[in-house]
Structure 1
Amino acid sequence: MSQRRKSGRRQPAVEEVVDEPVAQGEEEYEDEVDVAAESQALAGSTNMTTEEFERRVKDVVRLALASEHRRQPLKRDEINKKVLKDNTRAFAKVFEGAQKRLQTTFGMEMVEMATREKRQPANVAGRRAAATAAPKQGSRSYILRSTLSPDDREAAINWGESEPPMVLLCIILGIIHVSGRKIEEGFLLGHLKRLGLRRGGPRHEKFPPIDDVLADFVKHAYLDRVKIATAEEDTYEYSWGPRAKIELKEEDLLVFITEVYPDLTPDAERRLKKDIIRMAGPGEFVPPPPVNSEA
């Protein structure tokens, strides 16, 4: 996920691309040689031949791309069942090979999602306990994240019909962020009402009913939603989901928010960013543990 594409993006000059086919071909050849050498080295540390190892690496890459197309995480159990089968002890090496292939060919990498326990401490005491507890096993579920530079990513992505929902998602994530990283549903709906998104109101020109929008973002792990009790009634509290934490950097969100006000002076923009950081408060996200070779 990236910010909304700006119009007037700089186009390469003729002299910048005239020799590109030759240079690009040489770079691709060098990349292929490097990947082949790395595959040989990784295969040598397993009981597989280079050809068998390479086939399993490609199968993991296909699974990762297919899962991302469905906006579903790729589970380690699925890799073991469909690809490794009776050779699950080779998971770490095959996973490493798939990572290198994804990075060199697609400009992407697999990132482990946080567990629900780490994402949703029940209360302040629970959050403090989670912060001091010994590291626990990760979720064993992975999603893809771009490794391209912001400029390359913006040039490569064509959102098409998915652009309005992604812009709305960034707005919702921004509202949550400046609300102390969590927000009750009633307050969130109050903010969205100003955009014409009303629960039970007329259908919006660009979006489905707001409850369906929020449910879809929760389903695809962009938002986390937990039920909480208040003095008046039970309600929901929203926070960033694991996919949002992986795909969107907080500094990119700062840029997105400040670009809503294009006429700010540099000094006013600095003050706004400082206020956003203050309102967000300290982060709570705990990075997932590294991949290990245990089945």
Structure 2
Amino acid sequence: MSELNKPEEDFQDAVSSLATGESLPKEALKRMITSLVKFLLIKYRAKELTSQAEIQNKVLRDNQEYFPEVFSQASQCLQLVFGVEVKEVDPREHIYIMAPILGLTCDAMLSSGQSIPKAGLLVLVLNLIMRNGDRAPEEKVWGALSRLGVCVGSVHCVFGEPRMLLTHAWVQEGYLEYRQVPYSHPARYEFLWGPRAYAETSKWEIMAFLLRVNQGALRAFPLQSAEASREEDETA
């Protein structure tokens, strides 16, 4: 069991920020969304398809009539936090596949597929760089991420230590560039898009994606991530 294990109540609190429907009790809705997010993450890491029938029978059980609401909220969680998109590949049979958003393959590099998807955070960082004239001072990046609960020097339950992720892992993979600002004394550093980011996505695709998702859901970002740590422990 990982030392990063977090209480389930954290994730349920986050889900409540997204669960706006009034058709069933809030606590019941949170539990169903939590269960479905965990179920879909397992399917994603196993590279397996799922279907509406399977979700209704294995996750919702006696609450199958709430499928549209629960499925919509869970899909939003997956997109924003984990960078995983749920796509319907057979509209007649309602069969779904989980795929990384925007075609980003950073999660495919993870050893044995056991780590939690992180493409959602990468999209946010790429967007921060765009909003700062394509070269974002690192203090602005860390400041923005800290407001989402991702803080330098603090191990996050999903993303680990963010400095290692942004300045080493994603630099080595080619998604980011991290370099000293020319002629800066004392030395200051900035982030830029890396060549792999340009190869796999585009600024237009990033902007279009962020317009599609519910921007208000950003408030739930750090808490939603906590439950993913539990899901990783249970399936590792």
TM-score range, shorter chain: 0.3 to 0.5
* Higher Rg: 1
**Higher RCO, 1 or 2 (CA under 8 Å, sep at least 6)?**
2
What TM-score do the two structures reach when normalised by structure 1? 0.36
